[in-house]
Amino acid sequence: MIRNTRHLLVTWVGCLLLWGSLVSCQDELLESVPVYSLDFSNGHSSQIINEKWFNFNGDTVLGWYHNEEIVLNLNNLPKHNTVEVTVEVLVHDSWDGNQDEIGGPDFWYMHLDGDEIVNTTFSNGPCGTNYCLYQSYPENYPRHLEPKSGSTDPDLPGRCQYKGIPGWTSKYIVARLVKHKSSNLTILIGDRLLQTNTSDPGCDESWSISNIEVKALTVN
């Protein structure tokens, strides 16, 4: 397991450097301790503030959410100097990415202990020669990347506006390594979605989570 995580450390160096983490190619992983792992299939007791569940595509997931935040407080972490946070996000229906009009931008963000780690946009919208609803992910906003960039599963069915239609939910595995030493860790995840031309914006676009994993690492 440690070897696998060490491989991940090296794999992520490129993006880590972009947002200024201390982790580099020279770092050696000495210890990796799982402190939280939940796929929400069993529903309750996630420890998450604002937890709720629904069935998506045959699986129970955490959500759905629209202009909401969730918080996970973890205490009594073992001695460590880095945390590894991995979140599987499901982006449902007609997210509009960077569009700066009535439909967006559509932001999704994650903070660790109050520090902004991710602030990006997602798009399930069309992208043609003359028109494209660009998104920022896998980078932070504002970047202009094609819809569904970085998605590990872009053809899942929609949840509401395009319920059951393939291609209207995209799955992303958002993974970050962050310098951290405290025995307590607060993970805050939320969105700022904009859709003014509908009476039911929560049906127009929403998100949910199918897995969260947190590990306390000691890196030399």
Q: Quick one: which of 184, 177, 186, 180 has its CA closest to 72?
A: 186
Q: Is 191 in the site for Ca ion (CB under 5 A)?
A: no
DSSP β-bridge partners for residue 125: none
Per-residue x/- track, 52-91, Ca ion (CB under 5 A): ----------------------------------------
Q: Using CB under 5 A, which of the segments 49-57, 137-145, 184-192, 205-213 binds Ca ion?
A: 205-213
Among 63, 104, 158, 190, binds Ca ion (CB under 5 A): 104
Ramachandran quadrant class, 93 (left: phi over 0; alpha: psi -120 to 50; beta: rest): left
Residues in contact with Ca ion, counted by CB under 5 A, come to a total of 8
Q: Counting every residue, how long is the chain?
A: 220
CB atoms within 10 A of CB 204: 23
Q: Is 135 in the site for Ca ion (CB under 5 A)?
A: no
Amino acid present at 49? I
Q: Is 195 in the site for Ca ion (CB under 5 A)?
A: yes
Q: Is 205 in the site for Ca ion (CB under 5 A)?
A: yes
Residues in CB range of 182: below 8 A, 6 or more apart: 77, 113
Q: Using CB under 5 A, which of the segments 68-76, 79-87, 103-111, 132-140 binds Ca ion?
A: 103-111
Q: Is 125 in the site for Ca ion (CB under 5 A)?
A: no
CB of 105 to Ca ion, least distance (A): 8
Among 27, 84, 88, 96, binds Ca ion (CB under 5 A): 96
Give DSSP secondary structure letters for 53-67: EEEETTEEEEEEESS
Cβ closest to Ca ion, residue 96 vs residue 191: 96
Residue 64 dihedral angles phi and psi, to the nearest 5°: -90, 165
Q: Quick one: which of 84, 107, 59, 70 has its CA closest to 173?
A: 84
CB of 47 to Ca ion, least distance (A): 30
Cβ closest to Ca ion, residue 81 vs residue 198: 198
Q: Which residues bind Ca ion (CB under 5 A)?
A: 94, 96, 103-104, 106, 195, 204-205
